[in-house]
Amino acid sequence: MRIYEDLGFAVPDVLLPKTGVDPHQWAVIAVDQFTSEPEYWEQVEDIVGESPSTFHITLPEIYLGTTGEAERIHGIRNTMRQYLRAGILQVREGLILVERTMNGRTRRGLLACLDLERYDYTAGSNSLIRATEGTIVERLPSRMKIREGAALELPHIVVLIDDPGRTVIEPVAASKRRLRKLYDFELMLGSGRLAGFEVADESGVIGALRNLASAKTFAAKYGFTSDSPVLLFAMGDGNHSLATAKAVWEKMKSTVGTNHPARYALVEIENLHDEALAFEPIHRVLFNVGEGFVKALQEHFGDDLKYVPVPGAEEMAHRVNQHENENQRIGVVNGGLRFGVAEISNTTASHAAGTIQPFLDSFLSKGFAERIDYVHGDEVTVRLGSQPGTVGIFLPRISKSGLFKTVIENGVFPRKTFSMGDAKGKRFYMEARKIS
């Protein structure tokens, strides 16, 4: 692994499945997707069967907290070691240009490692690598149990760079015809196509990153003084996965030394300015909700709330995403195909997610709902929220253009504010890396 300490960046030793392993069965979507849709994971299990697959070495979050969780984690660790002994995974050193094509649009990224010593997910952080959303620390221990003792990491982490000049990733993509293709195949269950290309010479990437990380470039881009702490890499997807890697590293580093492979995390780096990169809101769904949700909403916000019933999902979405004034709007899908829009004034949070979340936390703590799920996709939110005993919370879109400056000036967004693409467009586990 070649390390560039000034950038918190490293060129990894990547493990890829050997020739003969079916990539369609091998690659499985990020574990934090379809957490309220067990039928999706049942289809994955049917497709994979007993074939070598990342399904057998990751733990879909739908199974977190279930009675079989410990047994699954034990099986994951054993299967990782089995795959390594059997030579199912083969090593190569170098960056990988990744292309993900869906619905006629192609997103591009670079697979690399980031130094967890240069990352801090706490509020107010000025580190080179930063979170963009609040981290729910209580969610880390269950994920740490999976990473601790694991021989491999498989990333669904996507980290962003703010590169309007398209100097880092795009020149590599432009030379794709000269790069060796490592894989190219159709992903399962309608998630498009994935291709990867070997980047043998990273010098151009390193030079471009150093320019982005220079104090002069940073200050000029955002209108800051030259002594402002540089933000080079900002979290896009997989916030809690990178935070988990950081927490595990902090726990173990005093006993293993500073050069241990677990100091680094494998991630995909994407340009915020990639035209195919879309930001989507992360909605909420409450399950086993009693009567009176709207009444509780009105009591919580009082005169600051104006609630208007609307005839359907399309009208709800339209009103929520309108920006007529400084008030925030939130859609409500109240079990039984009842739709409404809550407009809230005098808010202190920067986004509707931060405004509604304290109310939802309180609602849950009082036992008025059994659980909450964070859902990607408008249609899924409407479908789940329309079922008896559930409530869908439909949140507005967020503009990606001001992401970096907002994080630099105001700190992280409220937790679970935005997602890069919808559920089917999330990162698939294809590449792995040894961490023990």
182 shares its domain with 266: yes
58 shares its domain with 204: yes
Note whether residue 414 is domain-resident. no
163 shares its domain with 252: yes
Note whether residue 118 is domain-resident. yes
Rounded average pLDDT over 269-289: 95
Task: Report whether pLDDT(323) > 80.
Answer: no
Sorting pLDDT into bands at 50, 70 and 90, what band is 398? confident
Note whether residue 411 is domain-resident. no
Note whether residue 138 is domain-resident. yes
Note whether residue 408 is domain-resident. no
Q: How many residues does the chain have?
A: 436
List pLDDT tens digits, range 45-71.
999 999 999 999 999 999 988 888 999
Note whether residue 287 is domain-resident. yes
257 shares its domain with 302: no
Mean pLDDT for the chain overall: 94
233 shares its domain with 287: no
187 shares its domain with 290: no
Note whether residue 266 is domain-resident. yes
Task: Report whether pLDDT(295) > 90.
Answer: yes
Sorting pLDDT into bands at 50, 70 and 90, what band is 366? very high
Domain count, the chain: 2
List pLDDT tens digits, range 71-105.
999 999 999 999 999 999 999 999 999 999 999 99
239 shares its domain with 334: no
35 shares its domain with 160: yes
338 shares its domain with 248: no
259 shares its domain with 392: no
312 shares its domain with 429: no
pLDDT of residue 6: 98
> What is the pTM for the complete model shown?
0.89
Sorting pLDDT into bands at 50, 70 and 90, what band is 331? very high
Per the structure block, which two tokens stand in for 133? 């959303």
Query: Contact, 41 vs 31, CB < 8 A?
Result: no
103 shares its domain with 138: yes
Domain that holds residue 27: 2-278+420-434
Task: Report whether pLDDT(129) > 90.
Answer: yes
Note whether residue 168 is domain-resident. yes
Report the range of poorest mean pLDDT among 205-209, 221-225, 354-358, 431-435. Answer: 221-225
